[in-house]
């Protein structure tokens, strides 16, 4: 099973692609960022997100898309655009009939670090251990995307 994890945003969207071969056997196939230029119009940014996301769906053919849900916001000006970008991603997966699961950061922390108020670095350490990941996370968005993908993989266990 291939799981595509997404940490939504507008300037950068983290992604992580995992291969689950059996319970407890999870490896990272790819991870990184989809970036958009803040100088271009918002509709063009959404179009780029849609095209790039569609390429990932074609390339990896995931069985499941796992998205970090937007549940808390400090600034309404960022909440609305991020919600729109999330909608583009959900629509892209839905068009291909790929199941979608959403997890809050609290759920991810609880599942991975076994403590809902775990620090970001502790969760990242656990992700590295679970995936035997030696690389460096380009940004927190990448670690968050891998986190939601790992959370989905761990949720598959009987």
Which residue numbers are catalytic? Answer: 7, 68, 141
Nearest to 28 by CA among 145, 155, 146: 146
């Amino acid at each position: 099973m291939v799981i595509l994890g997404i940490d939504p945003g507008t300037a950068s969207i983290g992604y992580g692609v995992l291969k689950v071969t059996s319970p407890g056997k999870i490896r990272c196939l790819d991870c990184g960022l989809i970036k958009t230029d803040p100088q271009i119009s918002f509709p063009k940014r959404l179009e780029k997100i849609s095209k790039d996301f569609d390429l990932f769906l074609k390339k990896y053919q995931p069985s499941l898309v796992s998205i970090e849900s937007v549940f808390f916001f400090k600034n309404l000006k960022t909440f609305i655009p991020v919600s729109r970008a999330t909608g583009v991603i959900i629509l892209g997966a839905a068009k291909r009939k790929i199941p979608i699961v959403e997890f809050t950061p609290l759920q991810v922390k609880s599942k991975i670090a076994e403590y809902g108020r775990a620090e970001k670095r502790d969760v990242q350490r656990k992700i590295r251990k679970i995936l035997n990941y030696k690389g460096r996370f380009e940004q927190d968005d990448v670690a968050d995307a891998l986190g939601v993908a790992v959370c989905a993989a761990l949720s598959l266990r009987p």
